[in-house]
Structure 1
Amino acid sequence: MRQSQITQWCQAIIESQAVKEGLYIDATMGKGGDTAFLCRLAGENGHVLAFDVQEKALHLTKERLTKEELADRAELYLCGHEHMAEYAGEETVDVICFNFGYLPGGDHKVATHAETSMQAILQGLKLLKRGGMMSLCIYSGGDTGFEEKDAILNLLRTLPSREYTVIANEYYNRKNNPPMPVFIFKS
């Protein structure tokens, strides 16, 4: 049995649940892995919006999408995920992906933060269609990671159960603060 990384696992769950050829958001584009995945899910009739605060992330994602011939399926924005509601309407989005933390191989001082991440999650929930889903890969550690993880999990506990199903998972036997995959389904 092959070992699954958190992003691969989250993508498998998304692929098994999501409407194909929809509107998707990669709220933290990083190196473009989720953006490319969502572009393939979008097909020729869907669309992807991707956000990041780092020019390096935008450049790496654009490069990847061009190489994989997916660039025409996405719009890339150099701004924080807390601004996604400026680019998509309420109840128009099928899937939203988050990878909290910092850009792998990038500056660890530039990372997501609890305040803006929680704003983005709440905005995203309004943007999701009924039947839509949100994937959260929560990486803890570093200077703000534990604070952000705790704040996000506390926020998710308050979501009304009649409107949202929240499934939080954990790597039970891994050390050193492994990432936590969380899925939110909108009823």
Structure 2
Amino acid sequence: MTARAQAFIADRVAPESWVIDATLGAGRDCLFLARQLGERGRVFAFDIQSEAIRLGQQRLLQAGLLARVEWIADCHSQIHKHLQGHPIAAAMFNLGYLPGGDKTITTTPTSSLQALQQCLDLLHPGGGVSIIAYTGHPGGQQEADAVQDWANRLPRQDYSLACHQPKGAKAAPLLLCIERKGVRSRF
């Protein structure tokens, strides 16, 4: 699932792009995004938990890529406040809770839908958003359903949508990949 999301995003990012890790967690997507960028590119990494910020900074420091990331200790529903209208090439979301952390602190349908819409507002043509919604925790399936309903209502003349979910697996995560249609501009 993660490999599919990363392959989808990698094709949309240029060295000077601005990208978002909307749910920093342990920092794996942040590291992936930072590796796609050059010195002028920026990852904006959001999380409400200081432990996630600490883990992410440690991971990026070890990789020598700390300077490519803006660390934002705020809810992902505040993307507009922090990016102030700057276009993005991509955004990655992992909806659920911090692996190894407090399972009662989770993303919610309300904040996630706000963040997703804000990302689409900033997404340049040819850009993409990946969403992995984990369903095995309380509220996870409801959030996945709300996000999928939202994505299914996106205007098809403006957005392409791909959905992947393993069949038969109990509480299988859902992967959604959304691309804004149009001529790709690389930034």
TM over 0.5: yes
SS in 2 for 1:87: helix
- Aligned twin of 1:63: 58
Is contact 1:58-1:76 (8 Å) kept? yes
In structure 1, distance between residues paired with 2:155 and 2:69 = 32
TM-score, L = length of structure 2: 0.92
Once the two structures are TM-superposed, the CA of residue 182 in structure 1 deviates from its matched residue by 0.8
1:129-176: CA deviation from partner (whole Å, max 9, x where unpaired): 111100101111221111101111111111111111111111124x22
Specify the code of the residue in structure 2 equivalent to 1:178: A
In structure 2, the residue matched to 1:137 is 132
Give me the whole-angstrom Cα distance separating, in 2, the residues matched to 1:22 and 1:68.
19
SS at 2:26 equivalent: coil
Q: Which residue of 1 aligns with 2:185?
A: none
Give per-residue Cα distances to partners, 1:22-76, cap 9 Å, x unaligned. Answer: 1100000001101111111112221110000111000000111111100000001
Cα RMSD after superposing both structures = 1.2
Aligned residues of 1:102 and 1:112 also touching (Cα < 8 A): yes
Q: Does residue 1:23 correspond to 2:18, yes or no?
A: yes
Q: Aligned to 2:109, which of 106, 114, 118?
A: 114
1:125 to 115, 120, 124: 120
> 5+ residue gaps in structure 2?
182-187
Identity of aligned residues (%): 34
Instruction: Tell me, yes or no, if the aligned pair for 1:165 and 1:185 is still in contact at 8 Å.
Output: yes
Report if aligned partners of 1:94, 1:132 keep a CA contact under 8 Å in 2. yes
Q: Is contact 1:90-1:128 (8 Å) kept?
A: no
Unaligned ranges ≥5, structure 1: 1-5
Which residue identity does 1:60 align to in structure 2? L
Q: Say which structure, 1 or 2, has more relative contact order (CA 8 Å, 6+ apart).
A: 2
Distance 1:125 1:9 in 2: 20
Q: Deviations over 1:84-112 (max 9, x none)?
A: 11122436100000000001111110000
2:121 partner SS: helix
Structure 2: which amino acid aligns with 1:35?
C
Does the 8 A contact of 2:18 with 2:41 survive in 1? yes
Aligned 8 A contact 2:10 2:36 in 1: yes
Cα distance in 2 for residues equivalent to 1:41 and 1:21? 9
Instruction: Provide the C-alpha distance between the structure 1 equivalents of 2:86 and 2:177, rounded to a whole number of angstroms.
Output: 18
The verdict on how the C-alpha distance between 1:92 and 1:33 changes in structure 2, with shifts beyond 3 A counting, is same
Q: Given the alignment, which residue of 7, 10, 17 partners 1:12?
A: 7
Residue 106 (structure 2) pairs with residue 72 (structure 1): no
AA aligned to 2:151 is L
The one-letter amino acid paired with 2:26 is K
Residue pair 2:76, 2:112 contacting (<8 A) in 1 also: yes
Letter in 2 for 1:65: L
Indicate if the aligned counterparts of 2:22 and 2:46 stay in contact, CA closer than 8 A: yes
SS in 1 for 2:147: helix
